[in-house]
Amino acid sequence: MTCKNCKNALHNNDDYCNKCGAKVIRNRLTLNNLFIDVTQQYFNVDNKFFKTFTSLFSKPEIVIDNYISGTRKKYVNVVSYFAIALTIAGFQMFILNKFFPELLNMDFLDQEGMEGFQQKNMDFSKDYQGLIFMLAVPIYALISKVVFSNHKKYNYTEHLVINMYTSAHFSIISSLFIIITSLFDIHFSITSSIAIIFQILFTAYCFKRLYQIKTSEIALKTFLFILILIFIMFVVTIAMGAFMYLNGDLQKMIEVKKSAKEASQLSSQFFLF
């Protein structure tokens, strides 16, 4: 008998391969053993996902440092964990779109003459949620590398791993949180704002444990991180404004707002008469 995964020779009574560790499957696949396999993989307290999920709360430095140092059997590797987070985030957005579309309506944030602008932003975020999530992590890693430049413990790639783990964990928690709060008709803008606060606190907590620094120092570095991120967002906004100006969208928005203002003034004058 040979292992179906690595082709290593096995004894007839072996339950696991002594080379790759794969379980020996003797029974034909049925709905019953498929169900058992899935539940063991994802709901057993000894499975790697559950360990990774809980350990990122209690001892994130162990999970992250284990991966960085090359010990990668006990916990879910960072790429797989990130992929799971993307999947759950996609499921969360599907649930909201399908059953709670009114909670994604952003029209109440529109200014006069810019009706539909905020909803367009939301629609863009929904359509490119995964891409935005993936592009944000390298930026977070760059900022954290700069913020912790006085500490030489991790290089940029290792900061990338840290931010992939923390961002994925935050995404999983916030996705579940948003789904639950949607059942109580709590608007997405409120739950996402709360989730951002959690992301800041959780990321600061992880970096504090990774670097073993004082609360005052991590508070200062978190504040610096946020300032740099706001500056980058400001630059991106300016770039988007320049793009809109070049293709004429900005001028259209200005004209629409001007027309709305003139219409409002005419309406006021009419009622005065």
Query: In this structure, is residue 29 part of a structural domain?
Result: no
The SS3 of residue 73 is coil
Name 74's Cβ contacts closer than 8 Å, sequence gap at least 6.
Answer: 48, 51, 66
- Other CB atoms within a 10 A radius of the CB of residue 191 amount to 19
Query: In this structure, is residue 4 part of a structural domain?
Result: no
Q: What is the pLDDT of residue 38?
A: 62
Where does the pLDDT of residue 101 fall: very low under 50, low under 70, confident under 90, or very high at 90 and above?
confident
Question: Scanning the structure block, which residue is given the tokens 């916030």?
Answer: 174
pLDDT digits (tens, 9 = 90+) for 205-234: 999 999 999 999 999 999 999 999 999 988
Instruction: Please tell me the distance from the alpha carbon of residue 231 to that of residue 223, in angstroms, as a whole number.
Output: 12
Query: In this structure, is residue 35 part of a structural domain?
Result: no
pLDDT digits (tens, 9 = 90+) for 17-35: 777 767 777 766 677 776 6
Instruction: Please tell me the distance from the alpha carbon of residue 109 to that of residue 89, in angstroms, as a whole number.
Output: 24
If one compares 57 and 255, the residue with the highest pLDDT of the two is 57
Backbone angles phi, psi at 23, to 5 degrees: -75, 140
Q: What is the pLDDT of residue 266?
A: 47
Query: In this structure, is residue 208 part of a structural domain?
Result: yes
Query: In this structure, is residue 50 part of a structural domain?
Result: no
Query: In this structure, is residue 246 part of a structural domain?
Result: yes
Query: In this structure, is residue 33 part of a structural domain?
Result: no
Q: How many domains does the chain have?
A: 1
Side chain identity, residue 266: L
DSSP line for the chain: -B-TTT--B--TT-SB-TTT-PBPP-SPP-HHHHHHHHHHHHTSTTSHHHHHHHHHHH-HHHHHHHHHHT--SSS--HHHHHHHHHHHHHHHHHHHHHH-GGGG--GGGPPTT-TTHHHHHHHHHHHTHHHHHHHHHHHHHHHHHHHTTT--S--HHHHHHHHHHHHHHHHHHHHHHHHHHHTTT--HHHHHHHHHHHHHHHHHHHHHHHHT--HHHHHHHHHHHHHHHHHHHHHHHHHHHHHHHHHTHHHHHHHHHHHHHHHHHHHHHHHH-
Where does the pLDDT of residue 44 fall: very low under 50, low under 70, confident under 90, or very high at 90 and above?
low
Q: What is the pLDDT of residue 113?
A: 47
Where does the pLDDT of residue 57 fall: very low under 50, low under 70, confident under 90, or very high at 90 and above?
very high
Q: What is the pLDDT of residue 207?
A: 96
Query: In this structure, is residue 160 part of a structural domain?
Result: yes
Residue-range definition of the domain harbouring residue 192: 89-272
Q: What is the pLDDT of residue 237?
A: 77
Q: What is the pLDDT of residue 144?
A: 96
